[in-house]
Amino acid sequence: MNFEFSDEQNLLREQARGFLGDNCGTKVARNILEGEESYDQRLWRQIVEMGWTAAVIPEEYDGLGLGYLELSVIAEELGRVYAPVPFSSSVYLATETILVAGSDAQKAEWLPKLASGNAIGCFALAEGPGQSSEASISATAANGVLTGTKLPIADGDIADIAVVIAKQNGSASAFLVDLTSSGVSRQAVSTIDPTRSHAKIDFAGAAVELLGEEGQGWALVEKVYDRAAVLFAWEQVGGSDTSLEMANEYSLGRFAFGRPIASYQAIKHKLTNAYVKNTLARGNCYYGSWALSTNAQELPVAAAAARVSAIQAYYFASKENIQTHGGMGFTWDFDCQFPYRRAKLLAVNIGSEGTWQEKLISAIEKERAA
């Protein structure tokens, strides 16, 4: 079994890396960090023009009809430059949920808008600190209207549409909500990574539309999260590689006692450990992309393995990057903060490391029982 990408997919990688190298990076991320904008609108328009937001949307809905292997390549390259755009919220979560559970009418209405960038989507599950569960959901829907609060919601302050998980008739269901309609108020909230905006969204009688079957909201969350986990993991692997490259480049150019610090064992061992973790995470991501692209029954195991190893790799590499830079690595003017901020943020998107470890254990036990 060959887990490597094809020549066409590697060509896509080269094109994406070249484009993002010219149009993104630490300068763009710093502009968002130090400015007032929630995301880089120019970069987002360029990404839309490249067709990336339409990658896995079928052609009948104005998409490109590509596969998840191609989307995996794009995800890694976006993670490599910690792009300050709402790509993961709109593509991995909102678009994917509509693809999985939307009716023909819902797909026809929203997928062309998401593909063209005329709409940005988000996924509203969390309702405060702590791990989300079906029991923790307090937002309620009845008679076609929604009441409750969701926070923190990634890109919730800029999104046009939200997939909202709320209780209806005592069980969790998924709903589509037009965030530009009445009954919706939003407030930006601060996180460790200001280059990815988050919001508190209050619903006070907002009109909703059932997405999928009533009472199947939590099952839909589990399904979509397994699929999104693979793509988030690729973003993390991209960021892990950038962190390692930054540390290696600095260690080769920084001299101490007449020698580059890269020649000392203390630095060599740090960077070697980061390389090992990155390589392990990449292997798990290949497995995850195969399972996602083929809709294999192994997807829950593959997704959880990719997610756990990628969380660990990105955090370790971004932390050791700061340590390799020494005291200057902690300063505002150095760029070490960007991968570290993104590593911490992505580590809790769609569930923490502990949550995905539990998912991995449960998925393995189910496979053994079967």
Residue 95's pLDDT is what? 98
The residue extents of the domains of the chain are 7-88+104-116, 121-214, 218-369
CATH code reported for the domain at 7-88+104-116 = 1.10.540.10
CA distance between the termini of the chain = 23
- The tokens for 136 are 């923790």
Q: Is 185 exposed, middle or buried (0-12, 13-18, 19+ CB in 10 A)?
A: middle
- Give the tens place of pLDDT for each residue, 193-231: 999 999 999 999 999 999 999 999 999 999 999 999 999
| φ and ψ at residue 75, rounded to 5 degrees | -60, -45
Q: Which CATH number fits domain 121-214: 3.40.50.2300, 2.60.40.10, 3.40.50.620, 2.40.110.10?
A: 2.40.110.10
Residue 3's pLDDT is what? 63
Q: For residue 33, how far is the Cα from the chain centroid?
A: 19
What percentage of the chain exceeds 70 in pLDDT? Answer: 99
Question: Which fold would CATH assign to domain 218-369?
Answer: Butyryl-CoA Dehydrogenase, subunit A; domain 3 (1.20.140)
Average pLDDT, the chain: 95
Residue 287's pLDDT is what? 96
Angle between helices 265-294 and 299-325 (to 10 degrees): 150
- Give the tens place of pLDDT for each residue, 150-207: 999 999 999 999 999 999 999 999 999 999 999 999 999 999 999 999 999 999 999 9
Residue 1's pLDDT is what? 56
Low-confidence ranges of the chain (pLDDT < 70): 1-3
Please indicate whether the domains covering 121-214 and 218-369 agree at the CATH topology level: no
Q: How many residues does the chain have?
A: 370
- Which of the 8 DSSP states describes residue 127? B
Nearest CA among 154, 292, 314 for reference residue 228: 292
Residue 100 identity (one-letter amino acid): V
